[in-house]
Structure 1
Amino acid sequence: MSTRKDQIVHSTSSTKSPTKIFARRLFDGTNDSHLENQIIEIRQGKIVDVRSSEPGEENSAGVISADIVAPGFIDIQINGANDIQFNDDVTVDALARMAYGARQGGTAYILPTFITAQDMQYVKAIDTVKVALRNKLPGILGLHLEGPFLSRERPGIHEKSCIRVMNDTDIAHLTEPFDGALLVTVAPETLPSKALNTLVDAGVMVFAGHSDASSDVMQQAEENGLRGTTHLFNAMSQLTVREPGVVGATLSSDSLYAGIIADGHHVNWMNIKIAVKQMSKRLCLVTDAMLTLAGARQEFTLHGETIRLRNGRLTNAEDRLAGAHVAMDQSVRNMVKNTDVPLSQALRMASRNPAEAIGYGHELGQVKRGFRASLSLLTEDLHASGVVVDGEYFEQVI
């Protein structure tokens, strides 16, 4: 019998490249209702047709069947998975293992997230992801830098001593050509003048997070191109009677996107319901997962602190949350169960919304002719059964 490590190394490669996927129920990312008994035809990594199946076609050779098919899930905030933490192992192999771990929860693409670290360490993360993108590593869509340009008033679990103000050298690195989605979380109130405009003009997706900004600062940032908010409600100024803060500014906006952690620990379900009602087409499910996701480890060290997994919560010795332990398919199940949203809406929050949030809505987030063949396959009870990434099929194995 092979070891778990051997299985993981082997499983980072796809099992086959199917030409047809049969969906008993297809949620295409566009319609509120589903289509039944659909065939998705794939050629050279693209969807070439979506049509009703012929009698018995689902049993034909080479056809992969699933109870539910949705656009491929996109996790725009994931720190680790499969016993790998990106900050601790900034290599292409680590990215492959993280993508494998994310796929066990039905995620087709990730933005591996590098959090606050000392000085210019984030540059290595940029360079590593560039190599992964150049080599077309399955499942890697870009990079999320969460810090170090945050507020020391709202550090969360980030190392406070490493939080700093963005400078010209940082801007030069962040605006270099990048063949993928580059999302940078900042505290907008700390940015130098014109920095946000410069980043946005270079194609960087800038989100507010770990921020103590006022609503006025947020509104000005939005006018200057701010794209969204990172883990809404967590580590940011809250909605109060006379100051809406980051939360209020996000909820009242007509354009900002927001990631949200739907694990039942980070945000009260009533608050999530409010967010759904205010911005359902701009709310993005994120896992904020750490290395315990789809892994064997139950604890790890972060900034010298021991983080333990207990009852689905990752916390330090002071019981402060330190990332999450939730997969994307579980997040979808949680939304349906605890917020009463229709399944089509929950699936959109895991696929089309994040695709549009990072500028990929023209090729991902819908099951549509001409789009990339990116699909999440689920059982009837909403557990991942497989993932298709640019035409390559990866079977769920955990």
Structure 2
Amino acid sequence: MATRIINATLPATDNGWLHNASLTIGGGKITALDFSPTPVIEQGAVDLNGARLLPGFIDTQVNGGGGVLFNDEPSLAGLRTISEAHRAFGTTGLLPTLISDDLAVMERAIAAVDKAFASGLPGILGIHLEGPFLNSERKGVHNPDKFRLIDNNALNLLCSLQHGVTLVTLAPETTTPDIIKKLRTHGVIVAAGHTAATYGQTRLALDNGVTSFTHLFNAMTPMSSREPGVVGAALEDTGSWCGIIVDGFHVHPATLRNALNAKAKGKMILVTDAMPSVGAENKRFQLNGETITAEGGRCATATGTLAGSDLDMFSAVSNTVDKLRCSWPEAGRMASQYPAEMLGLEKTYGAISCGKSADFVVLNERDQLQEVWQQGVRYTQ
């Protein structure tokens, strides 16, 4: 049975808004979209009274949520908990992210994602394997004992997901252009991260199939006057995407504003790098045998090393408006349209338009999250 939504305000293609929109939803998709010069009165419809909508958020880097770390519970039940925790903050599509681990754990995580698709669990778009093919010089909170090179067994595993998108973060200097090409041939999206690569090595990787950068500025060689590094290559390249964590801890807002100005429009995406503390009362959890504490929005080890984030996607969008001086429509695109394009899912997700999944968030007059719609199902706050 179709659902009608009336008197909604939608983001325009620029930074403005379109008023008096009506949507028809059927089969979890938007089947009709029209506008009226005046507010509409329609019996039985969901009347949003002019509230603003943004497309449902897509997060390509979610390590956990709702008290669950994907590494510790690479199962259908774990995915359900993580997905539901993040949906409460407007994330209607995500890539559960596995931090560097053994191949056996990676295999279980991939199998869990395939089970999620088979069971019809909404919100899971694929998997992000962040490592273990990284450089110990830029390990961050990853366990370097898990690091390894990509051999044939690992290559086959990385290409084994049957449903959805596979995103792999690797240090390009630890592998070869040929392996990057093979991953791309099998449909794997390759990102550079936790890398000590030079500008030249990064350019070579871009030329051979790397299309994105994992948490720009963090755990990678910085840009300097005589060596542009990974950051310089990432900002210069017009075809690749950069994930950014806008929590006020990972990168200074002024640095991010400069990066936004330097990078081609539409190529910066918001990610959370979220840990189990998001959507959970308990703000402490274990990672690699260490206790991680989320305090004041900052996740860190006892020695102060950042360990993912306590950031949710709605806060990331709100911070992008406040700290990076973006409009709500543009911040929304950074959390929906642009990541959908990065994942090659723009025909189905990332915008409020006919034929796409009925995923969107509703803002109240105080710019707070009022409700979330996922595949046409309404979840009120």
Q: Shorter-chain TM-score category?
A: over 0.9
Give a deviation string over 1:300-340, Cα, whole Å, max 9, x none: 11111111122111111111111101111111111111111
Query: What are the Cα deviations for residues 133-176 of structure 1, in whole angstroms up to 9, with x where unaligned?
Result: 12220111111110101111100000011111111111111123
- Within 5 Å, give how 1:338-349 maps onto structure 2: 338-349=323-334
Deviation at 1:62, TM superposition (A): 4.2
Aligned mate of 2:158, from 162, 169, 174: 174
| Structure 2 counterpart of 1:204, from 188, 194, 200 | 188
Report what 2:136 is aligned to.
152
8 A Cα contact 1:141 1:181, kept in partner = yes
> Which residue is equivalent to 1:190?
174
Consecutive unaligned residues in structure 2, runs of 5 or more: none
Matching residue's letter, 2:24: E
Deviation at 1:69, TM superposition (A): 0.8
Query: Which deviations, in whole Å up to 9, do the C-alpha atoms of 1:95-129 show, x marking residues without a partner?
Result: 11111110111111111111111343211101100
1:271 deviates by 1.1
My pick for the range that moved more, 66-75 or 82-91, is 66-75
Shift of residue 178 of structure 1?
A: 2.5
* 1:344 shift after superposition: 1.4
| SS of aligned partner of 1:308 | strand
Separation of aligned partners in 1, 2:14 and 2:348: 17
Deviations 1:245-294 (A, max 9, x none): 11111001111101110000101001110121123411110111111111
Q: What RMSD, in angstroms, separates the aligned Cα atoms of the two structures?
A: 1.7
Aligned partner of 2:76: which letter? V
What residue number does 1:283 align with? 268
Q: Which residue of structure 2 aligns with residue 305 of structure 1?
A: 290
How far residue 75 of structure 1 moved from its aligned partner, in angstroms, is: 0.6
Q: Which residue among 229, 234, 237 is the counterpart of 1:250?
A: 234
How far apart in 2 are the matches of 1:304 and 1:246?
A: 30
Distance 1:23 1:87 in 2: 43
Q: What stretches of structure 1 of length at least 5 have no aligned partner?
A: 1-16
Which has the higher mean CA deviation after the structures are superposed, 384-393 or 153-162? 384-393
Greater Cα shift, 185-194 or 256-265: 185-194
Offset at residue 24 of structure 1 (A): 3.6
What is the CA–CA distance in structure 2 between the aligned matches of 1:320 and 1:334, rounded to whole Å? Answer: 22
- Structure 2 equivalent of residue 61 of structure 1: 44
The aligned amino acid for 2:302 is A
Is 1:90 aligned with 2:74?
yes
- Aligned pairs (5 A) from 1:223-302: 223-279=207-263, 280-302=265-287
1:6 aligns with: none
Distance, in Å, in 2 between the alignment partners of 1:33 and 1:290 is 34
Partner SS state of residue 201, structure 2: helix
1:43-68 Cα distance to aligned partner (Å, 9 max, x none): 11221111125866467324152721
1:40 aligns with 2:20: no
- Counterpart CA distance in 1 for 2:326 and 2:378 is 29
- The alpha-carbon deviation at position 297 of structure 1 amounts to 0.7
The 3-state SS of whatever aligns with 1:194 is helix
For 1:356, give the aligned amino acid: E
Residue 357 (structure 1) aligns with: 342
2:177–2:205 Cα contact (<8 Å) kept? no
TM-score (norm 1): 0.91
Paired residues of 1:276 and 1:283 also in contact (CA < 8 A): yes
Aligned residues: 379
TM-score, L = length of structure 2: 0.95
CA distance in structure 2 between the aligned counterparts of 1:266 and 1:23, rounded to whole angstroms: 39
Partner of 2:355: 370
Shift in CA distance, 23/91, structure 1 to aligned 2, threshold 3 Å: farther
